[in-house]
């Protein structure tokens, strides 16, 4: 891990922001490492979850928000279940991801792209339309052959819908999206 100059890089506001939004006392983490020990994703993270907790404690906003780790956390809840300080660690990771989204700092662009396309499908139909999500993802990510090998395995089973299920109340679902976006605008 690189040396960090705390005099120039500590952002106290970030500590408060994460604590307020997550409702967790990050200062109570004493770095036992139990979260990291049980985290199935540590092998893929740039900073293991206990280091993310420490980086938040010392106000390292840029490092945390630009980390891959916050985008690769699957919210499996092993850390939250095991933290001896009862910190909801998975929630803290989620909040960092939410802040990174708002500040347009997204280290794992494909992960965010997939989530956005998923939610577009919910907004449009009220339920997700699996084939459309995968096709849009492949086009927009430029990774055209993603899961192309699965097509011949699942398509003959006749389970996938080739047309979206549009629910009657899809307007009421769409309104959740629009009211939420309006609420953000009004607060700004």
Among positions 123-142, residues that touch other proteins (CB under 8 A) are 126-128, 130, 134, 137, 141
Q: How far is CA 133 from CA 106, 155, 161, in A?
A: 20, 15, 12
Q: How far is CA 47 from CA 80, 107, 165, in A?
A: 17, 13, 41
- Which of the ranges 10-18, 29-37, 47-55, 175-183 carries the binding residues for other proteins, by CB under 8 A? 175-183
41 binds other proteins (CB under 8 A): yes
Residue 108 dihedral angles phi and psi, to the nearest 5°: -110, 85
Among positions 4-33, residues that touch other proteins (CB under 8 A) are none
> Which residue ranges make up the site for other proteins (CB under 8 A)?
40-41, 43-44, 72, 74-78, 80-81, 88, 90, 94, 97-98, 101, 108, 110-116, 118-119, 122, 126-128, 130, 134, 137, 141, 146-147, 149-150, 153-154, 157, 159-161, 165, 167-170, 172-173, 175-177, 179-180, 183
């Amino acid at each position: 891990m690189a040396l960090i100059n705390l005099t120039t890089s500590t952002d106290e506001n970030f500590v408060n922001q994460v604590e307020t939004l997550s409702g967790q006392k990050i200062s109570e983490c004493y770095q036992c490492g139990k979260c990291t020990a049980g985290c199935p994703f540590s092998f893929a993270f740039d900073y293991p979850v206990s280091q993310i907790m420490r980086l938040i404690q010392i106000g390292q906003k840029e490092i945390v928000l630009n980390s891959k780790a916050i985008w690769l956390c699957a919210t499996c809840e092993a850390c939250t279940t095991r933290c001896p300080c009862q910190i909801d660690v998975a929630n803290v990771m989620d909040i960092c991801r939410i802040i990174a989204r708002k500040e347009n700092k997204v280290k794992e662009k494909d992960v965010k792209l997939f989530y956005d396309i998923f939610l577009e499908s919910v907004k449009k139909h009220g339920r997700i339309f699996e084939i459309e999500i995968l096709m849009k993802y492949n086009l927009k990510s430029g990774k055209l052959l993603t899961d192309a090998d699965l097509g011949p395995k699942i398509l003959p089973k006749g389970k996938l819908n080739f047309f979206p299920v549009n629910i009657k109340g899809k307007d009421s679902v769409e309104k959740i999206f629009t009211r939420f976006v309006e609420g953000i605008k009004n607060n700004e």
